[in-house]
Amino acid sequence: MQPVAEALSGSTHASGPLVEARDLVKQFGGLRAVDHMSITLRRGEMVGLIGPNGAGKTTLFNLIAGSLKPTSGSIRIGGAEVAQERPERRIERGIGRTFQIPRPFAEMTVLENVLTGSQRQSGERIWMNFLQPSRVAAEERQAVDKARTLLDFVKLSGLEAEPARVLSGGQRKLLELARVLMADPETILLDEPAAGVNPTLLELISDRVLELNRQGKSILLIEHNMDMVARLCGRVVVMAAGKLLTEGTPDEVSRNRTVIEAYLGEVAA
Ligand SMILES: Nc1ncnc2c1ncn2[C@@H]1O[C@H](COP(=O)(O)OP(=O)(O)OP(=O)(O)O)[C@@H](O)[C@H]1O
- Distance from Cα 19 to the centre of ligand 1, integer Å: 21
Computed over every residue of the chain, the mean pLDDT equals 90
Please give the single-letter amino acid code of residue 108.
M
Whose alpha carbon is nearest atom 24 of ligand 1?
A: 53
Q: Is 79 part of a structural domain of the chain?
A: yes
CA–CA gap between residue 14 and residue 243 (Å, rounded): 29
Give the range of the structural domain holding residue 234, as residue numbers without chain letter. 4-261
Q: Which residues line ligand 1 (CB under 6 A)?
A: 28, 31, 33, 51, 53-59
Phi, psi of 25 (to 5 degrees): -130, 135
Q: Is 72 part of a structural domain of the chain?
A: yes
The bridge status of strand 31-41 relative to strand 235-240 is unpaired
Q: Is 52 part of a structural domain of the chain?
A: yes
Give the CATH number, domain containing residue 99. Answer: 3.40.50.300
Q: Is 268 part of a structural domain of the chain?
A: no
Q: Is 267 part of a structural domain of the chain?
A: no
150, 178 contact by CB (below 8 A): yes
**48-61 pLDDT per residue, tens:** 999 999 999 999 99
Q: Is 236 part of a structural domain of the chain?
A: yes
Q: Report the pLDDT value the prediction gives residue 160, as an integer from 0 to 100.
A: 96
Q: How many CA atoms lie within 13 A of 255 on its CB side?
A: 5
- Distance from Cα 216 to the centre of ligand 1, integer Å: 30
Angle at which helices 133-153 and 169-181 cross, to 10°: 140
CA–CA gap between residue 84 and residue 100 (Å, rounded): 24
Q: Is 269 part of a structural domain of the chain?
A: no
* Diameter over CA atoms, the chain: 65
Global pTM value: 0.88
Give the atom of ligand 1 at the shortest distance from the alpha carbon of 60: 18
Q: Is 30 part of a structural domain of the chain?
A: yes
Which letter does DSSP use for residue 163 in this model?
B
Q: Is pLDDT of 190 > 60?
A: yes
- Establish whether this prediction's ipTM goes over 0.95: yes
Question: What's the total number of domains in the chain?
Answer: 1
Q: Which helix (H) or strand (E) holds 246?
A: strand 243-248
- Distance from Cα 33 to the centre of ligand 1, integer Å: 6
Q: Is pLDDT of 125 > 70?
A: no
